[in-house]
Amino acid sequence: MTVKVTEKLYTLADDLIPGAKPTKIPGMEGTVSKIFGYGLWLVILAGVAGVGFGVYKLAVSDKSRNGGGSEPFKWMGGGVAAILLSSSLIAILNGISGG
């Protein structure tokens, strides 16, 4: 039962994240390595969604003096931070694993 659910999750991740093939980390083989690798790719997608939502909020925000104009930049900054963090972790892990 668990194997079938895990295989379905991997298939869903392959469909959702094209080209995302996590490399195996020495000493962390198997399911944990795959889940960790796909998790980093999902953090990148969440960062992209955060940046997109921030751009949307900036486009539709109230431009008057009391409009609270910093909220879109918080969304965009958080999205960029998530993208930078996860992409640097992916690069570090690929360097460790030699991939």
String of DSSP letters for 31-91? HHHHHHHHHHHHHHHHHHHHHHHHHHHHHHS--STTS-TTHHHHHHHHHHHHHHHHHHHHH
Between the CA of residue 1 and those of 5, 6, 7, 10, what are the distances in Å?
Answer: 6, 9, 10, 15
Q: How far apart are CA 69 and CA 61, in angstroms?
A: 7
Indicate the pLDDT class of residue 50, thresholds 50, 70 and 90.
very high
Segment 42-56 shows an average pLDDT of 90
Segment 38-66 shows an average pLDDT of 84
Percent with pLDDT over 90 in the chain: 15
Q: How far apart are CA 5 and CA 88, in angstroms?
A: 30
Q: How much is the pLDDT for 26?
A: 63
Q: How much is the pLDDT for 12?
A: 59
Q: How much is the pLDDT for 44?
A: 86
DSSP 8-state assignment for residue 1: -
Is 41 a residue whose pLDDT tops 70? yes
Is 91 a residue whose pLDDT tops 60? yes
More confident of the two residues 26 and 45: 45
| Most distant CA atoms of the chain, gap in Å | 58
Size (the chain), residues: 99
